[in-house]
Structure 1
Amino acid sequence: MLLYVIRHGETDYNREQRLQGARDIPLNDTGRGQARHNGRTLASRALEFSLDQFDWVSSPLARTRETMELVRESAGLDPRDYRTDALLTELSFGDWEGQTLDEVGQHSQHLIEAREQNKWRFRPPGAKAESYAMLAERTDLFLSKVTQPTICVAHGGVIRTLFNRIGRVADDDAALLDIPQDRVLKIADGEIGWI
């Protein structure tokens, strides 16, 4: 497997440390700059294949699609020549989406404490809410469909599950990883690391 993964650029929710999850929040100007930077990074590297030989796939959320289009444009490719896959959608924070953890703590401190005890398996309240363990099952399905060299744009949660599944980072450690928005992750031959 050869997979390059980019986290979407910054949003105002990222800047404010709000739980955005599956909400469709747009990039801000910093995020657009990060996306362009990642496109230039890919274009300047001597990759295993030319960029047009990769399968390009994005989460369907607007912030990942805009990132993908800016990455491709900055790499000299047609911005719209990619596909989306719902398996790459960020995990849902359910009823907590749109709030900061401090705001959640004002009404549900006991749940914040439960989350800190086992972040990987904790599922926030709400019918559509997911845990990292649930997201990892989606990531496994996505990985099972990767049959050619691929470049994808996804979310911090998805990338944390990649570190868990491929990098063998322990569950709760993976859930706590800081995932940058201005770097490209390379996964090849069972190895995972930033370029």
Structure 2
Amino acid sequence: MHDLEQAGDAQLCAAHVAGDRRAFAALYDRHSRWCFARVSRLVRNDADAEEVQQEVWVTLARNLGTYEPTAQFRTYLNAIIRSRASDHWRRLSRRPVTNDLGDEDAEFDTAAADAPLPDSVAQSNEAVAAFSAALAGLSTDEQAVFRLKEGLDRGADMTWQDIAETLAIPLETARTRYRRVCAKLKLAMREHMDLS
């Protein structure tokens, strides 16, 4: 094991490809903390970061034969991290926007659904439904940038740089998509208001 601790990343990669499982364990020991910190920065949720990091290491184990020692190992690992984080945000962007109150309020929700609603609450519910429908009508890429910027899945918005890195797109592309999404959503809401 001492030899593996002294081996460079390229040597460990080659040893793993040759079938030495200890080499992959050594790579994991050497880079897992850095990897988790990087994933956490992109995903912004520790539970999701653990899941994404697991996907990163599985992807790495499967594709390590494609690593070219001319690049630094962390550069290769970072490309996988960005790809898996981007996949994570795409999966989240496919989730419908809901207003779920949880199981403990299910009885209250059922009773409330049966009660007549005042006009203002009904209009508000219609507006939420119209907004949700407009959001669902966006492309997956548009939804992803909007959800990240507005913090719909994490509770806090991200910087433009973080969004660009997470989605693996240029910074200006992220901003342009967001502006386009906002314009589409405003138009959809204006149309909804005109029909109301």
TM category, shorter: under 0.3
- Greater share of helix: 2
Larger Rg: 2
Kindly indicate whether structure 1 or structure 2 has the higher relative contact order, using CA contacts under 8 Å at least 6 residues apart: 1
